[in-house]
């Protein structure tokens, strides 16, 4: 069963982690470049260098192990993010089932309240080595769920992303990829639905995972549309993209400078500028392909 891919795949999760680590936005990225983080890495590496391979590897490539620890820290922070989102989506399913959520506006508001409720959750990470505890993301770093993980996740995965192999040319002379990371538009919100389930497209295995665990009600819904089971994974991918728009909407609504409750002209103008900046970025999305 494992060899036939009858298992949970983590290809897209790894894509998300690498995108977030590479684009490097938010407070967690700033901490990962700090002297305190490097000092914590040095303590861990010094303890682990009793491993003969690491003892040889570290002097030759002194930044290699610290970069692996950065990757592990980003993965662990995303695990804490997905833990909150998993519980939130399960609660959302229950709310939809009992009628508390019956529209997109109510769905967005439900997610926004969940994000705001978890906003100040601390993000921390430590490891045990030979009975001793070593911090990698210590509590004193002050990292929190919304500002340091959730919003950078939206920026790196939903908006910027990285181009999938085989969809654009990586040749610098072709100039199909902008040299400015801030101008990347390869995230989930901009995704063209055509490459879904194509070779080298990371969400493909995620769609397979969702298909394997599809609730009966959704299975019946997809079966009655277009080509039935023939394009079910593409339809799941479209639903996934719609859901990401809802999460992004909720994240934006939860981070307005004055919460859309500004009383004076300056506060209203600040909220308006914030909304306009997001509108300009989101208007490039392929919403024309997300038919109901």
| Per-residue confidence (pLDDT) for residue 124, from 0 to 100 | 95
| Per-residue confidence (pLDDT) for residue 255, from 0 to 100 | 84
| Per-residue confidence (pLDDT) for residue 166, from 0 to 100 | 80
Q: How far apart are CA 78 and CA 150, in angstroms?
A: 9
- The segments of the chain whose pLDDT lies below 50 read none
Residue 274 neighbours by CB under 8 Å, 6+ apart:
256, 257
In terms of Cα–Cα distance, which of 43, 51, 210 is closest to 135? Answer: 43
| Per-residue confidence (pLDDT) for residue 48, from 0 to 100 | 84
| Per-residue confidence (pLDDT) for residue 99, from 0 to 100 | 93
| Per-residue confidence (pLDDT) for residue 125, from 0 to 100 | 96
| Per-residue confidence (pLDDT) for residue 42, from 0 to 100 | 93
| Per-residue confidence (pLDDT) for residue 51, from 0 to 100 | 84
- The conformation of residue 10, written as its DSSP 8-state character, comes to -
| Per-residue confidence (pLDDT) for residue 290, from 0 to 100 | 66
pTM equals 0.86
Token code pair at residue 122: 């601390």
Q: How far apart are CA 187 and CA 180, in angstroms?
A: 15
Q: How far is CA 283 from CA 111, 160, 268, 269, 276, in A?
A: 22, 14, 22, 21, 10
């Amino acid at each position: 069963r494992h060899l036939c891919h009858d298992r949970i795949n983590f290809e897209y999760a790894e894509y998300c982690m690498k995108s977030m680590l590479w684009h490097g936005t938010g407070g967690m990225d700033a901490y990962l470049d700090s002297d305190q983080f490097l000092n914590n890495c040095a303590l861990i590496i010094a303890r682990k260098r009793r491993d003969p391979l690491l003892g040889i590897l570290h002097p030759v490539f002194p930044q290699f192990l610290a970069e692996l620890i950065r990757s592990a820290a980003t993965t662990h922070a995303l695990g804490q993010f997905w833990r909150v989102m998993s519980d939130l989506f399960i609660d959302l399913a229950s709310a939809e089932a009992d009628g508390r959520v019956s529209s997109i506006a109510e769905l967005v508001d439900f997610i926004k309240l969940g994000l705001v409720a978890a906003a100040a959750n601390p993000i921390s990470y430590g490891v045990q080595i030979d009975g001793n505890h070593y911090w990698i993301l210590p509590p004193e770093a002050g990292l929190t769920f919304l500002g340091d993980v959730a919003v950078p996740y939206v920026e790196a995965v939903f908006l910027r992303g990285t181009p999938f192999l085989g969809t654009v040319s990586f040749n610098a002379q072709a100039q199909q990829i902008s040299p400015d990371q801030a101008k990347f538009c390869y995230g989930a919100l901009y995704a063209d639905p055509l490459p879904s389930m194509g070779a080298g497209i990371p969400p493909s295995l995620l769609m397979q995972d969702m298909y394997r665990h599809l609730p009966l009600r959704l299975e019946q819904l997809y079966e009655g549309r277009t080509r039935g089971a023939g394009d079910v994974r593409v339809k799941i991918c479209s639903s996934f993209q719609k859901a990401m728009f809802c999460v992004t909407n909720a994240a934006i609504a939860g981070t307005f400078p004055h919460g859309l409750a500004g009383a004076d002209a300056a506060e209203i103008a600040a909220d308006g500028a914030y909304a306009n900046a997001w509108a300009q970025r989101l208007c490039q999305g392929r919403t024309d392909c997300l038919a109901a």
